[in-house]
Amino acid sequence: MAFATGIPMVVPDLLYEKELEAYNGPYYQALGLQIVTLQPDEVSFAQLVKNERKPLSLPDCFALSCARRPDHVLLTGDGPLRTAAKHYGVEMYGLLWLLDGLAESGETTHSTLHEGLTKISQGPRCRLPRAEIQKRLKAWGGEG
């Protein structure tokens, strides 16, 4: 669904291998997800960030480094990664921003967004703010 927005989506190879490949990675690639390899200077920056910001995983640091590229932004809902992005001046948005964009675009129904956000919010890895989830679930109400 997110790929229907026409926004190109890329992910560093390390992040893909560690966090996505086993969780529908090939499916995301078929939808248009692009996997990129960081340049040596980008890897060095990621390692610098990892040394400075212990709560971040190396895949997080790779994503932050990749988002520093021209015409790239970071899409994350992770608090420490958002804090790091602000510190390093990296433009970022969250999953809720993406869902709001889909709602506004008409690419999907409110019912579908409601169903999807409900499933996401019930996942063990969900880090989205509960109040914002509830606001959208109420607005989307499950009707299309």
Q: Distance between CA atoms of 62 and 49, rounded to whole angstroms?
A: 9
Instruction: Give per-residue pLDDT as tens, 65-88.
Output: 999 999 899 998 788 999 999 999
Q: 11-42: per-residue pLDDT in tens?
A: 999 999 998 999 999 999 998 899 999 999 99
Q: Domains along the chain?
A: 2-93 (3.40.50.1010), 97-140 (no CATH)
Name which of 3, 25, 23 is nearest 75 in CA terms.
3
Helices (H) and strands (E) in the chain, counts: 8, 4
Q: What is the pLDDT averaged over residues 84-99? A: 92
The answer for residues whose C-beta is within 8 angstroms of residue 130's C-beta and 6 or more apart is 121
To the question of pTM greater than 0.85 for the whole model, the response is: no
Which pLDDT tens digit goes with each residue over 52-64? 998 999 999 999 9
